[in-house]
Structure 1
Amino acid sequence: MSTFVDTMRASATGPAGSAKGMTTGEPHAPARRTWAQVHEAASRIAGALLADGLTPGSAVAVLAADPALIAPAVQAVWLSGGSVTMLHQPTPRTNLAEWAEDTLRVLNMIGAGLVLLGAPFDALAGVLDEHGVRYRRLDELAGGEPLTEPVPVAEEATALLQLTSGSTADPKAVRITHRNLMANMRAMVQAAEFDFDADTMVSWLPLFHDMGMVGFLTLPMTFGVELVKVSPAEFLGGPLLWFDLISRYRGTVTAAPNFAYAIAGRRLASVDGDDTYDLSSLRIALNGAEPIDALAVASFTTAGARFGMDPGCVFCAYGMAETTLGVSFAKPGVGLATDVVDAERLETERVAAPAGDGPTRAFPLLGEPLPGLEIRVLGEDGQELGEREVGLLMLRGESVTPGYLTVDGPVSTQDAEGWLDTGDEGYLVDGQVVVCGRRKDVIIMGGRNIYPTDIERAASSVPGVRAGNAVAVRLDAGTRRERFAVALESKLAGDPAAEKALRNEVTSKVVDAAGVRPYAVVVLAPGNLPKTPSGKLRRAAAGQQVAQLLAKD
């Protein structure tokens, strides 16, 4: 029997089930349901699914926006013995024909027997009908006969098929087992020093992303933690809602990628009145899912201090869907800590030596590996490296996925000894993990290994560049004349004089910061850089886009 399902059910039917719950609908129509009520609704949906012919082990896709609908729906699938896949959601800008084509690839890849539809995506039922995809509307399942006992499943059964970031036209799903899921959640609870009675989690993260789905729905639902959950659209419509919720609900734990903290710092700094918010309750503001920028963190903590926020709440983390969610966590209360290293030795010798008198690079310390996870660093020859030697990060442990599902079939993620190749370059120092960047994105010029994040941070510091919307891409990769370009979004796009000034300033900042000159700086209007459905920049796609634009010039 699944320990994960047992624990979730025990939390819902025990004291925490009636004392703790989930608030949704902010800011317009807030409503709170206890975890016991969520479980009751899930039991009815599960009963209806089984009566409708769902078989244990079935892959069930979910397409809904409201967390109040999603929570009982995914729990129902787990109670029924199925696996959950959260489909990427179309936006108002999405071409529905392309979305349907991409979604059909995903459904075929995972072998989905059913799609659960909820508002506002009920209107897409016609698209699914057209392609013969079986679906049920969630509002039609609410009146089922309650399931009295969960369907038994093995610990190695699939619980979650997490779609990875990247091109949805070439989909890939990480297979997370019940064992993986429970192991990683327990490890995160321990490392973050959760107090189920005292903590209140606040989140706007999308539920089709692993940080939102695992960290800010499955975890609180499994252990009975108070949760305030709104949709990404509410955050993007008014980012200060995030801090209003933390203030009003006395939130203690939240999380976001770095770009959101950059936005938050600017918005908080513009707020009138030191008593507008009370952020003194916040003990963990997890920063993960993309490279952490110390300047963005500083702007956030400086602006938040006015409202009683402790800068020690910044909680640096390293994670990936392949380990369910978390890999390493900094210690609570430490705040952002960086390792400042000799830039020349890093780039030419691949050694992160402590900084001397010359140029430096600073990397966030991402904490020790979570309990149950091992990490090692391998050199180009496959040999294990020592402390401060930069190489490929490898992971092993109970949280690590056994494999991917791809359009060409299952693919293992582990070698013969159980190690996962993360694709990230980094090093270890005093037991803590440091990530330098993705191996495939490293720019090699004049024998130097240059990480694109250094270039992107420099570009983003220029006024007029949209925060989190600058990307450095390789040109002529693997050749003797390898170069790079910077693509960025700006409201100045379309004004030739302003664009020229912006390009010159970005070039100057990049040369000062990294000692290399971009071959080109491409200025795009907002909304033109390719991104994943969860909002991450797609560097490979951006590289193709830039190469095409430069070829036309």
Structure 2
Amino acid sequence: MCATANGARGRAGGITTGEPADPVRRTWAQVHDEARRMAGALAAEGVRRGDAVAVLAGEAARIAPAAQAVWLVGGSVTMLHQPTPRTDLSVWATDTLRVLGMIQTRLVLLGDPFTPLKDVLTERGVRFRELSGLAGRPLAEPAAVAEDDTALLQLTSGSTAAPKAVRITHGNLLANTNAMTEVAGLDVEHDLLVSWLPLFHDMGMVGCLTIPMALGLELVKVTPADFLGRPLLWMELISRYRGTVTAGPNFSYAVTGRQLRKATDLDLDLSTLRFALNGAEPIDPAAVQTFVEAGSRFGLRPECVVCAYGMAESTLGVAFAPRDRGMEIDVVDADALEARRRAVPAGEGAESRNTRAFPLLGPPLPGLEARVVDDSGHVLGEREVGIIRLRGSSITPGYLTVDGPVAAQDAEGWLDTGDEGYLVDGQVVVCGRRKDVIIMGGRNIYPTDIERAACEVAGVRAGNAVAVRLHGTGRRERFAVAVESRLAGDTDAERDLRKQVAARVLDAVGVRPYSVIVLPPASLPKTPSGKLRRAAAREHLGDFIDS
């Protein structure tokens, strides 16, 4: 990062922020100069090698030099979960104090739009500095750090009341950065990355900020609020800046695809986009297809889509599908998958016409290896479904928890991902999270199949359906489906919507939900990065379900 900033790429590449109202561009050399002044101030504050520094800010223009500054003095960066307008600040403060205590933070760096929270931090005795005034004598030389020193403490997306942080070392970060750069074929002379991703999420912080800073890659960065307020801004920026690389979770492609399909007066050119990574949550082939078909009207090439598998425990990337081939899916017999845990290709000895389609996510990135094991730890063969395990240079050594550090790897260096899947022709396929699987009559049904079916019903908000297993009480196994809809509160409309959702789920997976609950928008519990929290949803829905 220092070499890039002090070389030709530091003067040529840079970051543009402030779109669409007030765009400002700074070179990476300028960002680094600010970081050195911030680092001088941190050193004067007593921050040293090994210290944990937390950041609560929303603007990439402030976060980029702040993160560099922490690394320059040898510290680690923790991006705190950010409160929203609906957040109960007293609850947020209590949860944040748990996090700060867990990571033993030395200091909190506070920036817009969260500077009004300084009174909350002061009341609770939290030591902080505002980024707007953080400047000192430029640090002469970066502190010496080892490969196993901590670079990032990435907060997981679970309950903030029982926080956990993934410890990412400098060695992990370098290995994953190099691997993703190689497989994505990043060309710092010609590529331009456009991103709206939150920087408290690993895909935003590592993939869409750290990598551009390290390589000197041109970056156009807006906030998640900018995207959510107007999703087509994402495509407009790709068109305006001739973006070649971008990334987002499946829901963002689903939303954007629908809006592109409805648009009648857009003047866009998406022909420059060559690498559109889809990851961070289960990938819906139908949503990707809608995005590709709607975007083709504006020059979008289907082969630009890259389906990916990643997790914070691997720093970010685990597997990327091959470039320039577009989404490739594996269609398998659903009965064999659910009953015998084998991914039998449809049409090749298939037991029924009922099928499931999973995106091929590519081979493990360089430096990583993957295998699939059964519940006893025995390694399974190709197309046999089990738990995915990972090993390699990008894998975290462990977690920080409120009860102390916890190892992430077994004695042989393998990480249990908790994801169910299989391998085919060297590529990884993910079926779902083991803890979320719904077991009905001996069949393993993945909630994503149920949720996608529910979202196909008109009136259900896209990406806002959740399927949860109901705890048994001596009766047969059951599950419930909750959907968000603007029709909530209209008794007749709700009744009709429940019937349609139940019928669509029955048609898709062959079983009928015990209960369908219609909720108003923004009711379902989600992680700070926007993923549905199924375990929390089960608790939330308890009052609606006669179990």
Q: 1:50 aligns with which of 43, 62, 76?
A: 43
Paired position in structure 2 for 1:498: 493
In 2, Cα distance between the equivalents of 1:537 and 1:479? 28
Compute the displacement of 1:382 (Å): 1.4
Compute the displacement of 1:479 (Å): 6.4
2:72 matched to 1:99?
no
In 2, Cα distance between the equivalents of 1:146 and 1:474? 56
State, as a whole percentage, how many aligned pairs show the same letter. Answer: 69
In 2, Cα distance between the equivalents of 1:114 and 1:364? 43
Secondary structure, aligned partner of 2:545: helix
In 2, Cα distance between the equivalents of 1:29 and 1:158? 36
Q: Give 1:413-432 correspondences, 5 Å limit.
A: 413-432=408-427
Q: Deviations over 1:452-510 (max 9, x none)?
A: 11111110111100000001100015966221000110001001111111111111111
Q: 2:442 aligns with which of 428, 443, 447?
A: 447
Compute the displacement of 1:512 (Å): 0.7
- Whether the aligned pair in 1 keeps the contact of 2:150 and 2:169 (CA below 8 Å) is yes
Q: 1:167 to 1:234 in 2, by over 3 A?
A: same
Q: Give 1:362-401 correspondences, 5 Å limit.
A: 362-401=357-396
One-letter identity of the residue aligned with 1:9: C
- Whether the aligned pair in 2 keeps the contact of 1:444 and 1:450 (CA below 8 Å) is yes
2:110 matched to 1:112?
no
Paired position in structure 2 for 1:16: 9
In 2, Cα distance between the equivalents of 1:479 and 1:86? 45
- Whether the aligned pair in 2 keeps the contact of 1:18 and 1:34 (CA below 8 Å) is yes
2:332 matched to 1:337?
no
Compute the displacement of 1:120 (Å): 1.8
One-letter identity of the residue aligned with 2:119: G
Paired position in structure 2 for 1:433: 428
2:196 matched to 1:204?
yes
- Whether the aligned pair in 1 keeps the contact of 2:368 and 2:390 (CA below 8 Å) is yes
In 1, Cα distance between the equivalents of 2:423 and 2:113? 46
Paired position in structure 1 for 2:285: 294
Q: 2:313 aligns with which of 308, 319, 322?
A: 322
Q: Give 1:279-290 correspondences, 5 Å limit.
A: 279-290=270-281
Compute the displacement of 1:381 (Å): 2.2
Query: Which structure 1 residue ranges, 5 or more long, are not aligned?
Result: 1-7
Paired position in structure 1 for 2:52: 59
In 2, Cα distance between the equivalents of 1:103 and 1:343? 43
Paired position in structure 1 for 2:185: 193
Q: 1:479 to 1:384 in 2, by over 3 A?
A: farther
TM-score normalised by length of structure 2: 0.98
- Whether the aligned pair in 1 keeps the contact of 2:441 and 2:477 (CA below 8 Å) is no
Q: Deviations over 1:141-196 (max 9, x none)?
A: 13x11112100011100000000002111110000000000000100011111111
Q: 1:146 aligns with which of 131, 138, 142?
A: 138
Q: 1:81 aligns with which of 74, 80, 83?
A: 74
Compute the displacement of 1:335 (Å): 0.9
Q: 1:440 to 1:196 in 2, by over 3 A?
A: same
Compute the displacement of 1:222 (Å): 0.6
In 2, Cα distance between the equivalents of 1:20 and 1:406? 38
Paired position in structure 2 for 1:475: 470
- Whether the aligned pair in 2 keeps the contact of 1:284 and 1:332 (CA below 8 Å) is yes
Question: Where does structure 1 differ by over 4 angstroms across 4 or more consecutive aligned residues?
Answer: 477-480
In 2, Cα distance between the equivalents of 1:81 and 1:89? 25
Corresponding residue pairs, total: 543
Q: 2:117 aligns with which of 116, 124, 148?
A: 124
Q: Deviations over 1:355-375 (max 9, x none)?
A: 135211111100010000010
Secondary structure, aligned partner of 2:152: strand
Secondary structure, aligned partner of 2:154: strand
| Root-mean-square deviation over aligned CA pairs | 1.1
Q: 1:303 aligns with which of 291, 294, 302?
A: 294
Query: Which structure 2 residue ranges, 5 or more long, are not aligned?
Result: none
Q: 1:479 to 1:355 in 2, by over 3 A?
A: farther
Paired position in structure 2 for 1:523: 518
Compute the displacement of 1:380 (Å): 2.1
One-letter identity of the residue aligned with 2:483: L
In 1, Cα distance between the equivalents of 2:237 and 2:334? 41
Secondary structure, aligned partner of 1:368: coil
Q: 2:247 aligns with which of 255, 267, 270?
A: 255
Compute the displacement of 1:420 (Å): 0.1
Q: Deviations over 1:267-296 (max 9, x none)?
A: 11122246x100000011111111101111
Paired position in structure 2 for 1:168: 160
In 2, Cα distance between the equivalents of 1:162 and 1:79? 19
- Whether the aligned pair in 2 keeps the contact of 1:475 and 1:547 (CA below 8 Å) is no
In 1, Cα distance between the equivalents of 2:132 and 2:483? 43
TM-score normalised by length of structure 1: 0.97
Paired position in structure 2 for 1:4: none
Paired position in structure 2 for 1:353: 344
Paired position in structure 2 for 1:5: none
Compute the displacement of 1:53 (Å): 1.2
In 2, Cα distance between the equivalents of 1:401 and 1:497? 51
Secondary structure, aligned partner of 1:381: coil
- Whether the aligned pair in 2 keeps the contact of 1:489 and 1:529 (CA below 8 Å) is yes
2:483 matched to 1:488?
yes
- Whether the aligned pair in 1 keeps the contact of 2:192 and 2:218 (CA below 8 Å) is yes
Q: Give 1:226-245 correspondences, 5 Å limit.
A: 226-245=218-237
In 1, Cα distance between the equivalents of 2:108 and 2:381? 48
Q: Deviations over 1:335-359 (max 9, x none)?
A: 1110011111111100001113521
Q: Deviations over 1:38-92 (max 9, x none)?
A: 0000000001110121121100000111100000000000001000000111111
- Whether the aligned pair in 2 keeps the contact of 1:315 and 1:330 (CA below 8 Å) is yes
Q: 1:477 to 1:318 in 2, by over 3 A?
A: farther
- Whether the aligned pair in 2 keeps the contact of 1:252 and 1:281 (CA below 8 Å) is yes
Q: 1:477 to 1:68 in 2, by over 3 A?
A: farther
- Whether the aligned pair in 2 keeps the contact of 1:201 and 1:251 (CA below 8 Å) is yes
Q: 1:478 to 1:375 in 2, by over 3 A?
A: farther
Q: 1:269 to 1:106 in 2, by over 3 A?
A: same
